[in-house]
Structure 1
Amino acid sequence: MSETFVHPYIPNSDPAIQRRMLESIGARDIEEFYACIPEALRFRGRMDLPAPLASEAALRRHVMGVLDRNRTCDEALSFLGGGCYQAQVPAVCDEVNRRSEFLTAYAGEPYEDHGRFQALFEYESLMAELLETEVVNVPTYDGSQAAATALRMACRITGRDEVLVSAATNPDRLRVIRNYLRPDVKVTLFGFHAATGEADLEDLNRKLSSSTASVYFENPSFLGGIGTLGQQMADAAHAVGGLLTVFADPASLGVLTPPSGYGADLTCGEIQPLGIHMYYGGGRGGFIASADEERFVQEYPSRLFGVAPTEKGEWGFGDVAWERTSFAKREDGKEFVGTAAALWGITAGVYLALMGPKGMQELGTGLMQRARYLAKRLNELPGVKAPALTGTPFREFPVNFDGTGLSVKEINRRLLERNIYGGQDLSEEFPSLGQSALYCTSELHTDADLDRLASELAACLKG
C-alpha cells in the first residue's frame, strides 16, 4: 500500500493522521500492536480484493450488482427450511422495528429510553405466556447460541461437565454447541430411531450418569418430526440429578404442548419465525426460558427486564439482577455477552401481540396441514417416499429418493432449472437416510404452490 494512500472506507487512514496517533502513544509503527501474534499465523501477502471505489454511488452500484446475482426466495418457489424460514411478516413488524429509537442505537441501548425497556418486557411476557414459563431473556445472537448458553447454564446449575445431545439435532447448531462448550464440557450424542426419528431411550439411558448436567433434544426435531417422548427423557434426566433442555419452534406452540409441560427445566429456541425476514440468514435471535427460581435466574448471562412501581406511583421497566451480566462487571459475568438481538425481540413481540393465541393456533394448524398435504402429493410419485420417517411432521419432513435412481443433488439441480428450490440435502449429514432431502412448508405456500412442486418434481424424475 502506498504511504500516501487514504482508504475511502477506513477512518484515520491518512498517513499524517496515523503518524500523529502513533506518536501520541509512543509507538514506532502499527506492527508493534501485532507483536504478540506468532509469525506462523500472520498473512504477509496481499488480499485478493478489488480496488476501493471512491464514490458512494460507485460503491452502491457495485454492491447491487453483486446482490443481483442472487435468486431470492421471493423470485423462486422455495421449500428450504432447516432452521431459517420464509415466514409471513406482517407490515406492522417492519414499521415498528424501523423506528429510529429501536433501530440505530448500538446494542439496542438508547441514550434516552423511548419505550425500549417496556417493549422488551412485553416481548418477554408474551414469550413466557407462549412457553408457559415465568422468565425469558432478551434475545441472544441466534437460536444456536441460545441452545449452547442454556447448556452452559445447566452445567453451572448442576456443577457437572457432560451434556447428552440428540443425534437428530440441527448439524449447524450441533457444531455451535460443541464449539461453545469446549474444552471443559463433554458433548455426547445419543441416537434416534431411523424409522421414526424418535429418541432412542435405551441408548440415552445407557449414557446417563452422575456427570450428566443436561439432556438436550429439539422438538420438532431437525428432521421435522414431533417428539412424543419428552416426559420420559425428563424423568430419566431428573433421576440422575440432571436437567432437561428442549429447543422448541415457537411457531409450533399454538398447537403443541410447550416443553415446560413435559418436564423441561430450560427451553430455548429461535425467534426468526415470529415476524422476521430471512435477511440472507441474518434475521436471527435466540430465547431461553425457565421457571422463576433463583438457581435458574442467577445463571442467565443475558439481560432480563422486569417491572416495578416507582416513587411517583408509575411503573418503571429495567434490568433484573444486573450484577449477573458481563455488562456490570466483565470478569464476574456468567458468560461474556456483547451485542444482542434486542431489535428482533421487539419485532417478535409485535408479531405475538398481533397474532394472539388464536392466531398462533391457526399458524401451527396451517403449517401441519400443508406438511401433510405435500407429503401425500409427493408420496404419489414413483420411487419417492414421503415422509421418509413415520413420525408426525410439523412443518418439514425428509423425502427419500432412493427408489428414483437419482441423487438429491441432481434432483435439486433440475428443480432449480424450473425456478424451484428443492429440499435441503441430508445425504452427507444423515447418511442412514440415504438420498433424502428435507422439504419445508410455509404459511406462504398455497395449494397451487404445493401442487406445482409435485408436478415439476414428477417431470424432473422422468429426465
Structure 2
Amino acid sequence: MSKNPSFIHPYIPNSASAVEQDMLQEVSESAAENLYKVIPHQLKLNRKLELPEPFLSEYELKKHVQSILDKNKSCEEYVSFLGAGCWPHYVPSVCDEVNNRAEFLTAYWGDTYSDFGKWQAMFEYQSMMGELLDMEVVSTPTYDWSSAVSSALMMSARITGRSEALVISTTSAERLMHMHNFCHEKLQINLIQHHSDTGLMDLQDLKNKVSSNTAAVYFENPGFLGFMEPQGKQIAEIAHAAGALVVVGVDPSSLGIMAPPISYGADIVCGDAQPFGNHMNYGGGVCGFIATRDEERFVAEYPTLLISIVAGKTEKEWGFGQCTHDRTSYVRRDLSPDFIGTSQWLCAITAAVYLSLMGPAGMKELGEGIMRRCAYAMKKIKDIDGVDVPLSASPHFKEFIVNFDATGKSVAEINKGLLDRGIFGGKDLSREFPDLGQSALYCVTEIHTKDDVENLVKALKEVLE
C-alpha cells in the first residue's frame, strides 16, 4: 500500500477514507481494526505486510502479471505425455465459443428465471452423460474425480449403514488422501492388494477382507496406472454377496469402446469429465460426476444438486429446475450428512457441447484412436535398451508405466532432459508407488501423432546415453 494516508487504491473498493468512515459509522465502530477483535492477539501478525508498492497503471500491472505467466511452459509450446488425472485432449473450437457466452461464463449461480439456458444445458449434460454411462441419474458436477469418489463412498455408507470401504491399492495418492480426509469420521478406508505382475485386483485378498461391515468396494477401470480390469464381474459378485455396494471409477473417454461399469455390476459410478472439451489449467478444467440407477435409495443420498425437466403450462413447452432439492447439502447445511461445495458447472456445460458434437460414433472413434496410439507408444518405448514397460501384456487405455531402473537414471533426471528437448515426460511414480522403482506414468491420447511418439523415443535415447 502507499505510504500516503490519503491514497485511494484503484483496485481496492471502498478505500477512500470518507467512504470507510461512513461504513464504520453504519456498524457503530470507530476503527476497522475493531472488526477483528475476536481474533486472539497471538494469532495476529501485529505489523504491516512487507509488500511492494502497488502498480497504479493497469498497463504496468498487466505487463508484470504477463511476465510471471511467461515463465510457464505451456502444452501449446511443448509436447506433453503427462496425464495422471488431467489429460491432454483436443478441444474443438465450438466448445470455447459456447462456454464463453455471457449467460454461461458469468452466471456463477442463480435461479430458474435468471439463469437463462443454464439449467437446460445442465440437464442436457446429465442426459448425455447418463446415456454414455447407461445410468439414469447423473449429478451436477462435483469439483473433481477425488471429490466425486469420496462422496460416492459416503453415499454407500449411508445406504448400507456400514463403516468400512475397501479400495484398490493402485488408486492414486491424491484420491486416497481425499478419501481419508473427507470420509474419516464415517468410514475406515482399507486397501485391497493387487498382483504385482498384472496390476489386477487380488480377488483372494478381497474375499479375505470383505465383511458385514463393508459399505463399498471401490476400483477403477481403466485403473490409474492405465491397464484395464477384466475382473469387474467377479469383484461385484464378491462385494454383493457380502451386502456391499460396488463403486467404480471410470475415465468416461474410454466408454466409446469399453462396456459401462453398470454392465459388470457397478452400483455407483464416478469419474471426471475433463477429457470432454475442457482445457488443462492450474487446478481447473476438471469436472467430477456421480451416477446411479434411478432408485430412491440412491437418489435420496446424492449430496449434489440434480436438474430435472417438467411440462410447462403451455403445451409443448418445458421447464428445467432443481429436483429433490430439500435433501441436498445446500438446503440442509449443518444438518447435511455430506457436503458438495464449489461445482464445475461451466466445465459440465462444455462437456455437454463436446458430447453433442461427438455422438456415439465419435466416441468410438476417439477410444479406438487412443488405444492404437497407446499400444504403438508402448511398443516403441519398450524397444529402447534398458527401458521396460511393465504390465504390457494387459490391455491399456491412454496411460502406461515406463520403468527406467536398468538405465541407472532417475525419473527426475530423465524428465529434466526431456524438458530441455521440449517434451513433458510422464508422472514420476517413485514416491507414490516405491515398489515400481524408477517408473513414470506416460499418457498418449488422440492428439499425439506418430511423429510425436517417435520424437519422444529419440529424445529418451539421447537422455539415456
TM-score w.r.t. the length of structure 1 is 0.95
Query: Aligned equivalents of 1:119 and 1:78: distance in 2?
Result: 32
1:228 Cα deviation after fit: 1.2
- 1:433 matched to 2:446: no
| Alpha carbons 1:195, 1:390 under 8 Å: kept | no
The letter of the residue matching 1:138 is T
Render the CA deviation track for 1:170-208: whole Å, top value 9, x for unaligned: 211221222111233211122212221111222222222
How far did 1:34 drift? 3.9
- Consecutive unaligned residues in structure 1, runs of 5 or more: none
1:360 equivalenced with 2:363 (yes/no) = yes
1:14–1:324 CA distance, 2 compared to 1 (3 A): same
- What number of residue pairs does the alignment pair up? 462
Partner secondary structure for residue 402 of structure 2: strand
C-alpha distance in 1, partners of 2:125/2:201?
32
Give the Cα separation in 2 of the matches to 1:435 and 1:24.
63
Pairing of 1:27-426 with structure 2 (within 5 A)? 27-39=29-41, 41-44=43-46, 46-47=48-49, 49-107=51-109, 112-313=114-315, 314-388=317-391, 390-426=393-429
Cα distance in 2 for partners of 1:7, 1:191 equals: 58
SS of 1:141's equivalent? coil
CA contact (8 A) 2:218 2:246 kept: yes
What residue identity is the alignment partner of 1:320?
C
Give 1:255's aligned amino acid. Answer: I
Whole-angstrom distance in 1 between the partners of 2:92 and 2:41 = 52
Are the counterparts in 1 of residues 91 and 279 from structure 2 also a CA contact under 8 Å?
A: yes
- Maintained 8 Å contact 1:101/1:110: no
Please identify, of 246-255 and 225-234, the stretch whose mean Cα deviation from structure 2 is larger. 225-234
The one-letter code matched in structure 1 to 2:107 is A
Selected match of 1:452 from 439, 452, 455 = 455
CA displacement 1:368-414 (0-9 Å, x = unmatched)? 11111001000111110024554321001010001111111111111
Measured after TM superposition, the shift of residue 212 of structure 1 is 1.3
Say whether the 8 Å CA contact 1:266–1:290 is kept in structure 2. Answer: yes
Q: Let me know the Cα RMSD of the aligned residues.
A: 1.9
Give the structure-2-normalised TM-score: 0.94
Structure 2: give runs of 5+ residues left out of the alignment. Answer: none
Q: In structure 2, what is the Cα distance between the partners aligned to 1:190 and 1:379?
A: 29
Q: Distance in 2 between matches of 1:298 and 1:426?
A: 39
SS where residue 438 of structure 1 aligns?
Answer: strand
* Distance apart, 1:10 and its partner CA: 2.6
Give the drift of 1:309: 1.4
User: Is contact 1:97-1:103 (8 Å) kept?
Assistant: yes
Structure 1, 226-235 or 427-436: larger mean CA deviation = 226-235
Rounded Cα–Cα distance in structure 1 between residues aligned with 2:281 and 2:171: 23
Q: Equivalent residue of 2:200, what SS? A: coil
Q: Is this contact kept in 1: 2:86–2:280, CA < 8 A?
A: yes
Quote the Cα distance in structure 1 between the aligned partners of 2:421 and 2:125: 41
